[in-house]
A and B are shown apart, each in its own frame.
Chain A
Amino acid sequence: MDAGGDTVAPAPGDVEDLEATRFSREDAGDGGGVPKGPPDLRDGGLQETASQGKEQSPGVLPSLPQAEAPSGTCELWSPTAPASGTAGQAGDPSDEDWRSQRKHVFVLSEAGKPIYSRYGSVEALSATMGVMTALVSFVHSAGDAIRAIYAEDHKLVFLQQGPLLLVAVSRTPQSAAQLRGELLAVHAQIVSTLTRASVARIFAHKQNYDLRRLLAGSERTLDRLLDSVERDPGVLLLGAVRCVPLARPLREALGALLRRCTAPGLALSVLAVGGRLITAAQERTVLTECRLDPADLQLLLDWVGAPAFAAGEAWAPVCLPRFNPDGFFYAYVARLDAMPVCLLLLGTDREAFHAMAACRRMVENGMRTLGATHDLAAIAGLSNAPSASAPAYSVRAVGAPGLRHFLYKPLDIPDHHRQLPQFTSPELEAPYSREEEQYRLSDLYHCLHARLHSTSRPLRLIYHVAEKETLLAWVTSKFELYTCLSPLVTKAGAILVVTKLLRWVKKEEDRLFIRCPPKYSTPPAASVDQAPHNGVFTGL
């Protein structure tokens, strides 16, 4: 293992240097390429890591990561090295485009095998991922766990989940906690397709298994998830789902309809349009035993919005990581009457496809009797962009000049409805129609959120004058609110706008939110012992 020791040995000091090299290339005066001393010198260094680990002999390293081609690491990361002749290839760490991305997210196995990278090809990144494994293993060998590295304007956040290691490398102003939340969402997405149990089983059985074989095709879902965080931050930031604005009587009628249409083993029925919730009905046994986590519901909403469900009636296993990370539900997904309105029926019986299909026809017939088809088509067709057929409203509806955008999450929902945290926000309109502007707004919201919820010094109210807009964030026992106002607004003017907004939300709350989520009055034929554990998907 001496040879291995030689190649990896420089890691404790040198990886840090390379780290700095990589991140501070633009700031030439920073002494980028010059080897620095201990890692925790200026940039905050390793947080909560045992720095005495440096004193340990490098001999402990070789046994740790099975980093693929560890010797190549240094060359690839050194800016002067000619990076194996294929410089500029997408995903090559020396590629300028790749390096300039705002936020990278990587998933790798404990053995250092790449599983997912947001940008570039995972093949080209195996050396980079080897370094990540080395960092984690090194700190781990000192009996500690690496959580984050702060380097210049970059944050590196590490999250270990079972045999999977998730890493975010970000230069967005998001806090480490927010990035960690994002990594958890990525992990939940992986678990939802494979279950935690089977991931653990696979790696227990074969440590160097290439998980990409099983996740093939799911990368796009992860991409979409990460993109949505940067452009439309409400969902993950507030831990809530977004509802389609709908007149209360219609929503209640639809809820009652879902409640009526049951099938054996049906646990949850959801009506959604473009990733937003119309209404959902939960079977009572599920409800009383465990409240459906909004993260799980959001996962389902994202999932059914995938283009894979655009045609036909689909039947697929899906796991709800918060509810039970080790078992599968079986999901029936279909568009209703060729509308973008999507019906999701979640059951525990693997063979129940035809029962669910029958249930869908009941829902369709019921909707026709209600005359809801027309209204729903109108909602679904509100925004004509076919890509994001997301029904929404304009901020102008509030009638508060100067208000550009807001996120509002009510916290005064009666306790027995707490299982469905919701939020509302208008469409992003000019000046936030371009991607960069959306990123900027999202970053600002993230900053405000991080300060409101700071663990050391939480705040209740922030008035923040930024370069191109003024923001006001406010959290009370009744709501959590983020507003974006025009840059010229005065403090008094801002208060006026917010008061107007709150009044508007109060007036519209029956339309904006599901005030009383429907439940099944009687549990369907399936008994409790037909719990989702029975649905554990053993096909792997």
Chain B
Amino acid sequence: MPSPSGQAADRAPSAPQPETLYLGICPRGGLDELHALNRRIQAAQRPLSKDVVVFAAARTAKEALTEAERARAQGVRFPQDQLLHVTRWQEVPATRAPFVHAALGVFLAAEQQWQAVADAGGGDHAGAGAPRARAARGLGVGAAATAGSAVRRGAGAAGALRADSLDGRARARLAVVSQASAGLRREIYNHVRSLEVQAAQAARGAGAAAAATTAAASADEIRQEAALYAGVHSVWHLAHILFFDDYHATGGGASGMLTTTAASAAAFGGRQQSAAAAASAHDGKTMLEDLKQWLALNHTHDIQGQFEEIVAMVNPTSHPNFWTYIFKCLLRGQFDAATTMLELLPAYKTSDALGGGRLGGMPASLRAAVSATSTSNPVEALKALVKSMPLASAAASAGSVGGGSAQFQQRRMAWKEDVLFVFSDGRLSPLLVDERDRRHFETAFGIVAGVEATILEASTTWQEAFVALGMFVYPQLQGSDVQEMLAAVAERFAPTALLDRVQLALLEMDIPKAIRFASTLDWWLATHLVELFDKSGLLGDFEAAGTLGPVGSFGPGWAGGWAGGNAQGRDECTLSEWYRLAYADYLTSEPTLWRAALEYYASCARHGAEMLEALVPRIPLDSDVKARKLLAFCEAQARRRGGAGAAGLRAAKRQLHRVIARRAMAGGRLGEAIAHYLDGGQGQAVTALCNRLLGEYLTSGDARPFNAVVDSLHPSVVFRHERVAFLARYRDLHKLYEAQSYVQAGGLLIMLLSSNAAPRAFWRALLLDAIPLLEGEVVVFSVEDTFELMRCLEEVSARGRRSGGVRGAPTSGSGPGEADEALDVLRLALTRNLSRAMV
């Protein structure tokens, strides 16, 4: 297919050399002097950011300079030496954040619905998709509510199609795509509207509230963003109409779009035709109607404003744009506005009775035709013609697909004959009151008659011309028609702007080209277009052929990350994932968008886990809630994936636990530290912590800090670690004392000693804890228990002698002499107890 915009348009714009940001550290040409004075330039990249700090650094440590060098640099100081320049090489416009989140909400909802459809197709148990979808949702992003409701809708769709055939599943998928596309378009629209409001506020400047909401962005920036996203909306709307809207599913042959993919470029024409055929077959909603709406919504050129301006004049017909306005309305199919204007022409005013009265009894179509060809008033004729113009949409809703089409062609031909009859040479002249109106009426009739040259001449933009050609010249909008229309508008307007090129590529159904240009226009646009093209099954062949290369600096920055769709190796991923990786990377430049970035990474099957493993631990843990969210996010992501991805995410989670533990420890929250070190797989650190805690108890004799820490341990933590378990049991021992349950306390004490659960260093303390139990009225320890205690006592005494005394005990004061005394007391008590127990 020849490109209407010429060969140059096919070539992707190659990224220009980046512009240099000059920091003013030295004068122009001053580098040599800078170097001679022992200075150079250096940079450091900020993690999880696009910030780079640049500064003048010392070339060589002054200690290593030669005498001459040192003499030269001695005492030379510049203020720039101490300036750190914080630069950002890539930015997301400040005003875009709400849109990024809103669009993410739609994206996630679509992912979940998609999964629900897949699950419903694969499995046979109800609601298989729902839990999976829930697991996919980790962080609570702003648009969670949207996502939630969409899950329900998704589950509903999945449920509905279980009863259906495979065709039903394809349809459900198409519905997901269509819904997502419509949702995204709504979000773009809202974004642009919101920006317009902000721009108006910024322009007013005054109000403090306005200043607060737009503090981060200047009026210029807002306007720039609004203009960019108005363009993005236009592209998206067009793509929605051409590729994603639901009517493809219900109309004729196009239902195959999801299940089959085009095998070659030749199939393109076929799809185009089927799409056009589909256009004439659903609820009176034709592609042409949609395109008219697209034009009206995206390329208005302020029709309404002009209308008001003209009508407000005392003599509207003298407005310099009076006729151009009428042409514009005709070209855009806004016939009511056009005829309203025409009726303002004083020379051609008629009484209302004339039109209706004489021809009242005839059928409507016939009446219009007759009046158009018989009236002596050119305004009436034009009015009658546009009113009676047969529309494909009306034909489609009137009858069956095939019959309606044929009937429509017939009626359209008859109508056209009428137009040509009125417009033909000699017919128009007698009707004119003023000869000066001739060329205006000729243009007006020329447009309606479908004179290509007139239409192209009267149009101000190619979009307008394209829709007008469709309306008046190619009402059936076949695939071959589109090519001719595009060729015509390209010749007349030679559009070169990026936005035009994306739109033209879409109309040409040249998906690779559309993606290439879109990736230069805006990364959000490119990423989500690719996503929905992929879900619609429209990428497969190009992906395999490797013809879908993005351009410029867009991309995740992996050499060979995406290898022409041949996603077999570990390093390669699908094209849509490649785009999502790049978009997620782009979002990391703004801390408020990190969560969105994580969600996009999370949607990447092949590389997502690795990216998350690297990024999640880098997110500052400035609150407990955030820490918990990140932990839960890692766990949810690990569960969703298997294999290496899950292992990596669990490693990231353990890393988070260890950091949290370290911070808890620094903050003196030992219980928390123990729990997180356990989850972080740091058994050794836990042992060290427990020993430290016991040691502090032994030296101070104050059980309160010890008890507080042990009481703060969650029960689930306690039995995951031997030493922690001992701490908990030892705490139980104290509780039993307090409750005066001496027999149980004694049993526990013996168990702690005999099972080797207690660290040796702590035996002495445990033994001394036995003294009160030995002195009580009740005999707590049996003969065996007493022998066990004696054995332990001897071991402790022997060790104490070897090491020259033991450290302070909790129950007595301090000092080795006293401590030995305490053991003697115990020895005596044990002997006494033995005799009591034997009785």
- Do A and B bind? no
Residues of A within 8 A of B (CB): none
